[in-house]
Amino acid sequence: MSSKVCKNCGSSDIDVDQARGDAVCMTCGSVLEDNIIVSEVEFVETGGGGSSAVGQFVSTDAGGINPSFGDNHFSGVGRESRAQTLQRARLNINTLGHQLQMNKHCLDTALNFYKMALMKHLTSGRKNSHVVAACLYLVCRTEGTPHMLLDLSDILQVNVYMLGRTFLVLSRELCINAPAIGTHSPASAGFTLLHSAE
């Protein structure tokens, strides 16, 4: 948490991550600060024989002149990458959601779930299509739509258990209470299969 306030929505729920070098509004997802730069670079050898750069982060809040890397070639890279990731996620959510005939409210909610997953780094190491499907299924569960995880699995042509694992991680890590499906609904068969695989 920070004493900063988002210029876009006015929220004071700001996630400042010194390691990533950014400050992000947790309400609307705006990147408030992403030009924290490295003032001193040192390369060290890692255990696997590779190398990594280490240095000290210098925030724009610290004042003074900010040193730059070469010809400012890297300026704004984080924002562009994040914007592109969210744009691609929105397109994928809309495409998959329209195939399931989901309304705009559900698609917007799924995108918000995706933004939350992105903030908590839950998208790293996972296929984007699996995260998108899990976000849509979270909406199906929270909104009570008649869609099953098997529907998403069929459209994407991926194993239902792989999607189920991603769904369970997202619902747990994002603290989203996905209501259980009724025992007599056809969707419960897919969810029962999912839990029996664990």
Name the pairing type of β-strands 51-58 and 37-45.
antiparallel
Residue 179 lies in a domain: yes
Quote the mean pLDDT of the chain. Answer: 74
What is the residue range of 167's domain? 78-196
Assess if residue 1 is contained within a domain.
no
Together in a domain, 89 and 186: yes
User: Would you state the pLDDT for residue 21?
Assistant: 67
CATH code, 87: 1.10.472.10
pTM here?
0.53
Question: Do 101 and 170 share a structural domain?
Answer: yes
Residue 147 confidence (pLDDT) above 80: yes
Identify whether 6 is part of a domain.
no
Q: Are residues 69 and 110 in the same domain?
A: no
Number of domains in the chain: 2
Asked if the structure places residue 103 within a domain, the reply is yes
So what's the pLDDT on residue 65? 44
Residue 5 lies in a domain: no
Q: How far apart are the first and last CA of the chain?
A: 36
Assess contact for 15 and 24: CB atoms under 8 A. yes
Whether 146 is in a domain gets the answer yes
Q: Which residue has 């984080």 as its token pair?
A: 78
69 DSSP assignment: S
- Do 69 and 94 lie in a common domain? no
39 and 83 together in one domain: no
Are 105 and 170 members of one domain? yes
pLDDT digits (tens, 9 = 90+) for 84-134: 888 999 999 999 999 999 999 999 999 999 999 999 999 888 899 999 999
> Alpha helices, DSSP H only, in the chain?
77-99, 104-119, 128-143, 149-156, 160-173, 187-196
- Considering the domain boundaries, does residue 126 fall inside one? yes
Distance CA 25, CA 138 (A): 22
